[in-house]
């Protein structure tokens, strides 16, 4: 029998001063059996950084042809495709062809830096691609916020994210490898 996903309930308060976005989100998050707290919390961080009424978690690890998070318009066209990790060039090329904007959030800084050095020459041609890295210490600290029921506040200003659960807080500053034009 296959191991089922673990379900998390989360209430987010997002104050994004960079985009003038102020909204609450009540979400149900399925953590795939192969996903750890660090990766799930990175998904949550990526959601907060790109929050929109149409933004949603996809099947993620359970579907090879879907991103971790996406935003579709009312015509079912993909406006935003968000992947985590270090996807191969073929996946990135396909994502850039299917979506108006593609964002990748890498982690595991040592391997992410090696991946970026290998890929940057191949990826410069994609004008709708942005790539960010979240350092290991921030990912580890973010995992400390993981709970089956979460109430998190995200305040975003000048690209810096302040995450708080009312008891503890953390400042996360994703590093940009490349920004879409």
- Confidence class for position 106, pLDDT limits 50, 70, 90: very high
Q: How far apart are CA 43 and CA 38, in angstroms?
A: 9
- Confidence class for position 65, pLDDT limits 50, 70, 90: confident
Q: How far apart are CA 111 and CA 105, in angstroms?
A: 13
pLDDT at 77 over 70: yes
| Distance in angstroms between the alpha carbons of the first and the last residue of the chain | 47
> Around Cβ 84, how many Cβ atoms within 10 Å?
23
pLDDT at 174 over 80: yes
Q: 151, 156, 117: which is closest to 133 by C-alpha? A: 117
**Token code pair at residue 71:** 């935003």
Q: How far apart are CA 162 and CA 9, in angstroms?
A: 20
How far is C-alpha 154 from the chain's CA centre? 14
pTM above 0.75, yes or no: yes
Per-residue pLDDT, 63: 53
> Around Cβ 179, how many Cβ atoms within 10 Å?
10
Per-residue pLDDT, 10: 94
Pairwise pLDDT comparison (49 vs 1), residue with the higher score: 49
All domains in the chain, ordered by first residue: 6-178 (3.10.640.10)
Cα Dmax for the chain: 47
Q: How far apart are CA 75 and CA 73, in angstroms?
A: 5
Q: What's the mean pLDDT when you consider all of the chain?
A: 92
Per-residue pLDDT, 2: 60
């Amino acid at each position: 029998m296959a191991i089922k996903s673990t379900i998390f309930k989360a209430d987010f308060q997002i104050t994004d001063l960079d985009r003038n976005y102020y909204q609450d989100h009540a979400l149900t998050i399925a953590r795939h059996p192969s996903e750890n707290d660090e990766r799930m919390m990175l998904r949550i961080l990526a959601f907060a950084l790109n929050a929109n009424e149409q933004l949603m978690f996809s099947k993620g690890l359970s579907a090879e042809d879907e991103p971790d998070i996406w935003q579709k318009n009312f015509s079912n066209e993909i406006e935003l495709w968000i992947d985590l990790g270090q996807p191969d060039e073929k996946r990135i090329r396909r994502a850039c062809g299917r979506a108006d904007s593609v964002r990748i959030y890498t982690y595991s800084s040592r391997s992410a830096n090696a991946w970026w050095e290998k890929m940057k020459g191949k990826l410069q041609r994609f004008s709708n691609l942005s790539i960010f890295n979240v350092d290991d210490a921030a990912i580890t600290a973010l995992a400390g916020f993981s709970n089956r029921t979460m109430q998190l506040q995200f305040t975003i200003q000048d690209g810096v994210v302040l995450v708080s659960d009312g008891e503890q807080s953390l400042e996360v500053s994703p590093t940009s490898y490349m920004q879409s034009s």
